[in-house]
Structure 1
Amino acid sequence: MSQSTLNPRTTSFEFSGVIGALSISIGLPLVCVVLNQLIRPDYYIKGFFSNFDFAQLWNNIKPLNWYLTNCEMWTYYLAWFFGLAVLDVTLPGRNMFGVELRDKTKLPYKINGIAISATMALVVAARWQLTGGQMPELQYLYDHTVDLCIITIIFSFLLSVACYASSFVPLLKKNGSGTRERILALGGNSGNPIYDWFIGRELNPRLGPLDIKMFCELRPGMLLWLLINLSCLHHQYLKTGKINDALLLVNLLQGFYIFDGVLNEEGVLTMMDITTDGFGFMLAFGDLTLVPFTYSLQARYLSVSPIELGRVYFTAILGVMCVGYYIFHSANKQKSEFRQGKLPNLRSIDTDRGTKLLCDGWWAKSQHINYFGDWLISWSWCLTTGFQTPLTYYYVLYFATLLIHRQIRDELKCKHKYGASWVKYETAVPYKIIPYVY
C-alpha cells in the first residue's frame, strides 16, 4: 500500500481551517478560566449582570511564569496523570481489539476502568479513615481549582505538541501495509502544522501499550471531574456540618454518569473520537481541561451558593435524568443488538454496501435519538442549580453545540458513504436529534 493510499492528504477543513483552529485554541481556554473565576466565593454569581467587574475577574490569576515553574502543582498533576497511566497498563482487565484500520490491522486495548475506579475508591476511603475525614488532598483540590485548570491547559498544549512531533517518527516495526508509516487521521494530514497540531495528525498515538487518545478520553479528566465534585461536597460538609440536597443530587447524577461510562467503556472503541479523529490539542484540551473544569461548574456553584430543592423538585430532576438515561441506554442497546442480528423484525433500509440503516423502534424517532437522551441528562445536572444564574447552564448550551456538530459531521460522512440509500433514510427518518423539532 503506497503512502498516498494509506495517508491521503487532507483537502477539507473544519472550523474554517487555521483561523478557526487558532481562535478555538485561544478562546476556549480563556472561557474555561473565566467560568472558573466567576464561580469563586468572592465573585458572587448573583451579581453576574448587574455588577460585572472585569478587573475583579482576573483576581488571583498569577503570571504565566508562575504556572510554568510551579514545581508543587506540576508534581501533583504529573503524578496524577502518569500514575493513572501506570494503573491503566498494569491493572487487570479484558483485552479487546478496536475497529479495523486502513492497513487492515486492529489495535489491542485493555478494558480495565472498573479496576482503576475501584482502586481510586479504595484510596479515597483509606485517606478518609487515616485523616479522620479531613482529606487535605480534597481541600487542596477545592482551593486550587483555577490554578490546576491553567496547569492542564499548558499540559494539553505540551502533550499535543509531543504527539504532533512523534507523528513524523517512523514506526519501529512494519505495519499491516508493509511500511513503517504511522496511520494518520484523514482530517489531520493537511500539511499545515498549526491546523494538524490542533485537529491531531496521528490517528492513534501510543506510548508502548498505552493508547494516549483512549486513555485521555476515559481516565485523567473524567476521574478528576469526579474528584472535583467530591471536593465540593467535602468542603461544604467541613464548613457547615451538613450537605444540601442539590449538591448531593448533582454528585449522585454525575457520579452515576461517570461510572456508567466506565462500565460500558468498550463502547468508546467505535466512537468517532477514537475511530476517525486524530489526537491533537482539540481532544487533549477537551479531555483534560474542558471536561473536569467545566462539567463540575454545577457542583462548584452549589458549594458557594447552597440550594435546598425539597422533595418535589429533587424527584422531578431525578425523573429528567432517568428519562434521558432510559432513552440513551435503550436506544444504544437496540442499535447494538440490531447490528448483531438479534432484532431482524425491525424495519431497515438496505444499502449498496451490503449494510442496513435502522429506521424502526427508537431509531424511527430521530437519526440520533441517543443524542437527545444524552442532552436530557445534561439538563438534569443544570436544573439542580435552580435559576439564579445562567452560568451553570453553560453545559447545556455547549453540549447542544457539540452534538449538532457531531450530527453534521456524521451526516456528511453518511451521504458520501451511502449515496441514494441515505436519501431514502432521510425520508424515512427526517428529524436529526429531537423528534418533531430538529
Structure 2
Amino acid sequence: MAATRRSSSRSRPLKSSSSTSSTSSLSSSSLSSSTADKTADWSSGAGALPGREAIGPLLLMLITPPFSIVLWYTSSVLKGDFMSFLSQLLTNPTFLYTIWPSFYGPSSYESWKLILTFMTFQLLLMKLVPGSEFKATTTPSGHVPIYKANGMACYIITLLTLIAIDFFSLYDISKVYINFGSILSCLNVFAFAFCLMLYIKGKISPSTSDSGTNGNAVLDYYWGLDLYPRIFGWDVKQFTNCRCGMMFWSVGEICFAKHAMNVNGGVLPVGVWVNVVLQLVYVFKFFHWEMGYMCSMDIQVDRAGYYLCWGCLVWVPSVYTSHTFYLATNGPDLTDVQAVVIFALGMLMIWMNYDADWQRFIFRQTKGECTILTKSPKFIKATYTSAGRKKESLLLLSGWWGFSKHAGYMFEVSASFFWSAPALASGLVCPYFYVIFLTILLVDRSFRDDNKCKAKYGKAWEEYSEQVPYKIIPGVL
C-alpha cells in the first residue's frame, strides 16, 4: 500500500478536522468563518457551470426526467443512435410523449412491485444488519451525524440474494431489463413526490438546525432545505444515495448481464463481462469507503432536494447503467486481447482511484503521522474558526495529492472510460454518455470545492494552490 501508518509520540494541540474537499482542508493562516446564514445560497456554491439561479434548476428539472427516458429508448429501440431519435422528434413533436412508458395501470404494476420490493429490502437491511457506529464531522451548529457502518455487508447480502433468486428461479431477473423503461417512468414519479415530501418536511420540521433556505421555492425544491434529514430513524441521504442509487448500480448491471446471456444462447459476451466486473469492483470499493462518503460534499454541503435525491433515485439508475444496457443487446464482439487490455487498464484506474482515497484517508486518520510512498508526507497547516472555535487541518502535498487537488477524479473518469470501452469505436454517444456526464460533473465539482475552500481557508488555500496549482489534470486543468 502506498500509504501506511507511522507511530509517533508527537502530539498536536488542535484536533485535525476533515472537510469535503478532495484534499484535507487546512492551512497555515487563520480564517474566521461563522455559522451558515439561514438565507444564504449555501448549497448551490459557484462551480464551472452557469445558470445556478432559479432558471437553471428549473430547466434541469424540465429536461432531466425526459432525458432519462430518451436514453433508455435510444439504447433499447434505436441501437444507441441519438441522431435517429432527434430525426423522429423533429418529424413528430409529440414523439417523446408517445414513447414514455406508463407509470399507472396494469402495465406498470410489475415495475412498482420491483421498485417497492427493492427499497423495502434496503430499508430493512439498513436497520437489521449489524454495523459499528460511525460519527461524521461535527457541523457548524454542533450536530454530530451518526451512521451505522454496515454498507459492505448490505452490498454483499443484496448481490447474494439477487444471485440466489436467479439460481433458484424464484424470479426472472432479466425482467428488470425488459421493464426498465417502465421502471424509470415510475421512479420519476416516485422521486418527484419524494422530493416534494422532503421540501414540506424541511419547511415545517427539519431534522437538524443545519437546515436553511435560498428564499426561492424553485431553488429550495431543487437544492433542498434539510442537510441531514431523517425519517423514522432512517437517514434519507444514506438511503437515496447509497442504498438506492449505488446499490441499484450493481443490481442493474447483473440483471442486464442476465438479459445479455438470454439473447446470446446462455453465454455472456466477453464485452459485457468486462464492463460488469469492472463496475462491480468499483461499487465494492464505494461500499468499502461508504463512511468516508458520508463525510463528502454530497452529504456535508448539498441539501436533500431534487439535485441530490432525484439524481440518486433516477439519474444514477438511468445514466450510470446506460453503457451496460446498450452492450446487453448491441455490443460488438471483443477479441481476447482487447478484453484483457481493457480490463487490465480499467482495474489499474480503479486501483489508482482507491489508492488516492487511501492516501488521503490514512493522512487524515493519523493527522499526518504516516508514510506516503515510503516518506513522511508534506503538508500545510491550516487554522480556521468555525462556530466560534479555532480548529486546525492539514493540506496534503504528497503522493497523488501533490499532482493535483483532485487526483482521484482523473482516475475515476479514466475508469469509467474503460468500462464503457467494450462498445469500441461505435461512433455513438450513447454508450459513452456516462463518461461525458461524469467529466462535466467532476470538473464542475472541482470548481465548487475550490471556491468553498478558498472562502473558508483564505490565504492558506492560496498558499496551497501555489504548490498544487492544478485542479484535476497536471498541466491541463
TM-score, normalized by the shorter chain, greater than 0.5: yes
In structure 2, the CA distance between the partners of 1:137 and 1:26, relative to structure 1 (3 Å rule), is farther
In structure 2, the CA distance between the partners of 1:350 and 1:155, relative to structure 1 (3 Å rule), is same
Structure 2: runs of 5+ lacking an equivalent: 1-33, 46-50, 385-391
> How far apart, CA to CA, are the structure 1 residues paired with 2:360 and 2:71?
37
Matched residue type, 2:422: T
CA drift of 1:64 comes to: 6.3
2:144 maps to 1:106: yes
In structure 2, the CA distance between the partners of 1:139 and 1:327, relative to structure 1 (3 Å rule), is closer
Deviates more, 1:200-209 or 1:312-321: 312-321
Which residue is 2:249 aligned to?
Answer: 225
Which residue is 1:27 aligned to?
Answer: 63
> How far apart, CA to CA, are the structure 2 residues paired with 1:116 and 1:358?
33
In structure 2, the CA distance between the partners of 1:350 and 1:120, relative to structure 1 (3 Å rule), is closer
Matched residue type, 1:386: L
CA drift of 1:123 comes to: 2.2
> How far apart, CA to CA, are the structure 2 residues paired with 1:6 and 1:410?
16
> How far apart, CA to CA, are the structure 2 residues paired with 1:220 and 1:228?
11
Matched residue type, 2:312: D
CA drift of 1:58 comes to: 5.8
In structure 2, the CA distance between the partners of 1:84 and 1:426, relative to structure 1 (3 Å rule), is same
In structure 2, the CA distance between the partners of 1:127 and 1:355, relative to structure 1 (3 Å rule), is closer
**Residue 350 of structure 1: SS of its match in structure 2?**
strand
Equivalent residues of 2:141, 2:210 under 8 A apart: no
TM-score (norm 2): 0.82
Aligned length: 419
Which residue is 1:178 aligned to?
Answer: none
Which residue is 1:348 aligned to?
Answer: 379
TM-score (norm 1): 0.89
Structure 1: runs of 5+ lacking an equivalent: 172-180
Matched residue type, 2:80: I
> How far apart, CA to CA, are the structure 1 residues paired with 2:120 and 2:347?
35
Q: Deviations over 1:373-432 (max 9, x none)?
A: 111111112211112122111111100111011111111111111111211211111111
**Residue 204 of structure 2: SS of its match in structure 1?**
coil
Equivalent residues of 1:100, 1:106 under 8 A apart: yes
**Residue 349 of structure 1: SS of its match in structure 2?**
strand
2:280 maps to 1:245: no
Which residue is 1:177 aligned to?
Answer: none
> How far apart, CA to CA, are the structure 2 residues paired with 1:58 and 1:385?
29
CA drift of 1:6 comes to: 6.8
Q: Which has the higher contact order (CA 8 A, sep 6+)?
A: 2
In structure 2, the CA distance between the partners of 1:218 and 1:75, relative to structure 1 (3 Å rule), is same
> How far apart, CA to CA, are the structure 1 residues paired with 2:342 and 2:97?
34
Deviates more, 1:229-238 or 1:54-63: 54-63
> How far apart, CA to CA, are the structure 1 residues paired with 2:56 and 2:81?
33
Matched residue type, 1:291: V
Match for residue 146 of structure 1 among 181, 184, 191: 181
Equivalent residues of 1:37, 1:146 under 8 A apart: yes
Matched residue type, 1:35: L
Deviates more, 1:106-115 or 1:43-52: 43-52
Deviates more, 1:104-113 or 1:10-19: 10-19
Which residue is 2:387 aligned to?
Answer: none
Match for residue 38 of structure 1 among 69, 74, 85: 74
Match for residue 391 of structure 1 among 416, 430, 442: 430
Compare the two structures and name the one with the higher helix fraction: 1
2:431 maps to 1:406: no
2:33 maps to 1:8: no
Matched residue type, 2:273: L
**Residue 438 of structure 2: SS of its match in structure 1?**
helix
Matched residue type, 1:44: K
> How far apart, CA to CA, are the structure 1 residues paired with 2:132 and 2:124?
16
> How far apart, CA to CA, are the structure 1 residues paired with 2:381 and 2:135?
27
> How far apart, CA to CA, are the structure 2 residues paired with 1:262 and 1:360?
26
In structure 2, the CA distance between the partners of 1:21 and 1:184, relative to structure 1 (3 Å rule), is farther
In structure 2, the CA distance between the partners of 1:212 and 1:407, relative to structure 1 (3 Å rule), is same
> How far apart, CA to CA, are the structure 2 residues paired with 1:137 and 1:224?
17
> How far apart, CA to CA, are the structure 2 residues paired with 1:327 and 1:237?
31
In structure 2, the CA distance between the partners of 1:198 and 1:433, relative to structure 1 (3 Å rule), is same
> How far apart, CA to CA, are the structure 1 residues paired with 2:35 and 2:261?
59
Q: Deviations over 1:309-361 (max 9, x none)?
A: 11221122123213322321111211222222233722222334343222222
Which residue is 1:315 aligned to?
Answer: 340
